[in-house]
Structure formats: structure tokens, C-alpha cells
């Protein structure tokens, strides 16, 4: 890999030995052997006229995609994604994502994340892959449909998110006030620990 900071990393949704890493100023790299070797996979996301560094990554197991896996990337300007064939970054939109990718046209997102906010953390729930959690400066947001419609669930600014592998409602967030958790998908939060 290049001699540059890694800004985000994620494990492939269906293959624990496959890793993806975003490298500042370079792009997306992939390892199929648990990080022992790496290969360049994709340029950085193209948003609003230029390449953008990735701040957060998550691998999402969806029914669409070349093999069902999408890599979602959070940037300083918002959310984008690429199928695991690494053919082209695209906006998250309703409908069949592969049809939109092939046609080059995409429906307008229904209820997207706030425009222009950086995505500080991003995670897919392994037990319910369509559910995504995102941490933005405005708070913690959740999507039940793989990123088409979003709802704000907390106004706390989180730096990191983790979701229980078997319970999509159980999420921990690292905030300025310490570690918090929800056991109801973000509808209520309680303190776990002050750090």
C-alpha cells in the first residue's frame, strides 16, 4: 500500500478474510488474505467535481450488486457507494441499483442524509444488512433500506459506531460525553462509560 494514512477500513460482509482500506490521497485498496497483501481496487469517490477522501467505510450485503456486496463510503460531502466489481462510484438511490449503474441514470434519493455534512462513522448491521447507521456532525442517523431513506435518531455527535453482530437494534457510539448505547435502534440512548 502507499506510504499514506489509512482513513477508513472495513471487513467484507460475507468474507472475513477480505478487507477494504481507504488511503488518503490515493483510493480504495483490497486484501483477500486478512491484510497480508493488498491490491489497488478503486480511485477515490468522485463528488461535486473532484475526488474526495473517504472518512468511513462499510461493506453491505445486499441482494443487488455483482455478487451482492456494496462498499459504502462516507466522505466530507456525503455518502456514495460502489459494487464489489469496482466499476463506478454512484449515489445511493431507490430502485435497483445495478439498473441505475448500467443506465447511468439514477432516481433522486428519497430522504438522503443532510447535504454537505461529513460522514464521521458508518456501519451496516450484519444481522439486518439493509440497516445502516451513520454519524454526522448533526447527530446519529439510521436507514432501514440501505441508505435511501434516513431518519435522525440522536443529536449527539459520534466519532465511532459499533453494532452488535446478532442484534441490529443494539448500537454503541463514542461521543464527546463518553460511550453511549441504544438497545432500540437509536430511539433512546443511555451512558455506558465516561472516557
Q: Are 1 and 23 in contact (CB under 8 A)?
A: yes
Residue 103 backbone phi and psi in degrees, to 5: -75, -25
What does the pLDDT read at residue 91?
78
Could you write out the DSSP letters of every residue in 70-87? EEEEEESS-EEEEETT--
Cα–Cα distance between 127 and 65 in angstroms, integer?
Answer: 19
Cα–Cα distance between 62 and 178 in angstroms, integer?
Answer: 33
What does the pLDDT read at residue 13?
85
Q: Is 172 helix (H, G, I), strand (E, B) or coil?
A: strand
Q: Give the three cell numbers for residue 128.
A: 439486518
Strand duo 190-193 + 139-143: pairing: unpaired
18 Rama sector, left if φ>0, alpha if ψ -120 to 50, beta otherwise: beta
Cα–Cα distance between 174 and 178 in angstroms, integer?
Answer: 6
Q: Give the three cell numbers for residue 98.
A: 445495478
CA distance readout (Å), 65 to 1, 69, 185: 26, 6, 26
Q: Is 23 helix (H, G, I), strand (E, B) or coil?
A: strand
Low-confidence residues in the chain, pLDDT < 70: 63-67, 93-110, 193-195
What does the pLDDT read at residue 47?
82
Task: Give the tens place of pLDDT for each residue, 141-192.
Answer: 999 988 989 999 999 999 999 999 999 999 999 998 899 999 999 999 999 8
Amino acid at each position: 500500500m502507499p506510504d499514506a494514512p489509512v482513513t477508513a477500513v472495513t471487513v467484507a460482509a460475507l468474507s472475513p478474510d477480505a478487507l477494504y482500506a481507504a488511503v488518503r490521497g490515493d483510493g480504495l485498496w483490497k486484501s483477500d488474505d486478512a491484510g497480508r497483501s493488498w491490491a489497488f481496487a478503486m480511485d477515490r469517490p468522485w463528488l461535486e467535481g473532484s475526488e474526495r477522501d473517504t472518512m468511513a467505510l462499510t461493506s453491505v450485503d445486499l441482494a443487488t450488486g455483482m455478487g451482492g456486496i456494496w462498499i459504502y463510503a462516507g466522505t466530507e460531502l456525503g455518502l456514495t457507494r460502489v459494487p464489489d466489481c469496482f466499476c463506478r462510484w454512484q449515489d445511493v438511490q431507490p430502485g435497483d441499483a445495478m439498473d441505475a449503474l448500467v443506465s447511468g441514470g439514477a432516481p433522486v434519493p428519497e430522504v438522503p442524509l443532510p447535504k454537505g455534512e461529513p460522514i464521521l462513522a458508518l456501519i451496516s448491521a450484519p444481522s439486518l444488512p439493509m440497516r445502516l447507521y451513520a454519524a454526522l456532525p448533526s447527530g446519529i442517523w439510521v436507514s432501514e433500506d440501505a441508505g435511501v431513506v434516513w431518519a435522525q435518531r440522536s443529536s449527539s455527535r459520534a466519532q465511532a459506531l459499533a453494532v452488535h453482530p446478532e442484534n441490529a437494534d443494539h448500537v454503541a457510539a463514542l461521543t464527546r460525553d463518553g460511550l453511549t448505547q441504544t438497545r432500540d435502534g437509536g430511539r433512546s440512548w443511555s451512558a455506558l462509560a465516561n472516557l
